Amino acid sequence: MNDFSNDVDLARQGNTEAFARLYSTVYEDLYHIALYSLRSSHDAADAVSDTVLDAFCSIKKLRSPDRFKSWIMSILAAKIKRKQRSYFEPADELSDDSPLSESFSFESVELREAVDKLDNESRLLLSMSVLGGYTSDEISEMCGIRSGTVRSKLSRIKQRLRLELTPEI
């Protein structure tokens, strides 16, 4: 049994240090995906905090240790969707000094504007694919959408961005 599986087993038994080690393997991905999707550092931090609390309280339900990352990401996806539904007005734009800008830089102002035009679900799927590096099957499982649907949506999102960013001749 590897250290990761051992940490999951220990965390299931209530070992907080083991859970902290597990969390340390995913915290950057959790935050970046939440920030990219919610476009607010405060909301992203809240979503991640809620996710970690829920994960800690329900880790005994995790059946397979190798599924920890996709399991916690699915909790995050649900938190992001709930937070997005609670918005009454469009989210603030990402500022140039946001923590996301330090590790993920937009190639141009046009790309930032094109991404800002995407709906909430599209930004979530794109962030999980591009920032998180998840496959369509993994995103499917986390978001509760069929993998074929994820692939077609990602294809349409990327096509829309290409059209938005391609200069007219």
Give the integer Cα–Cα distance in Å for 127 and 133: 8
- Determine contact, residues 35/44, Cβ cutoff 8 Å: yes
Q: Which of 21-25, 91-95, 148-152 has the lowest mean pLDDT?
A: 91-95
Side chain identity at residue 115, one-letter code: V
CB proximity list for 160: less than 8 A, separation 6 or greater = 114, 118
Largest CA distance in the chain: 63
Residue-level length of the chain: 169
Decide: helix, strand or coil at residue 68: helix
Of 1-5, 14-18, 38-42, 152-156, minimum mean pLDDT range? 1-5
Q: 34 Cβ partners below 8 Å, 6+ apart?
A: 43, 44, 45, 47, 48, 51, 76, 79, 80
Binning pLDDT at 50, 70 and 90, where does residue 102 land?
very low
Identify the CA nearest to 154 among candidates 132, 119, 129. Answer: 129
The larger pLDDT score, comparing residue 9 to residue 107, is at 9
Closest CA to 47 of 86, 97, 4: 86
Mean pLDDT score across all residues of the chain: 82
Least confident piece of the model among 31-40, 135-144, 157-166: 157-166
Question: For the ranges 7-11, 46-50, 117-121, which has the lowest average pLDDT?
Answer: 117-121
pLDDT at 86 over 60: yes
**Predicted local confidence at residue 145, as pLDDT:** 86
DSSP code for 66: G
Reported as a single tens digit per residue, the pLDDT across 16-55 is 999 999 999 999 999 999 998 888 899 999 999 999 999 9
List the Cα angle 71/50/77 in 5-degree steps. Answer: 45
pTM of the model: 0.65
Listed in order, strand segments (DSSP E) in the chain are none
Q: pLDDT-based confidence at 101, cuts 50/70/90?
A: very low
Model pLDDT for residues 53-64, shown as the tens digit of each residue: 999 999 998 888
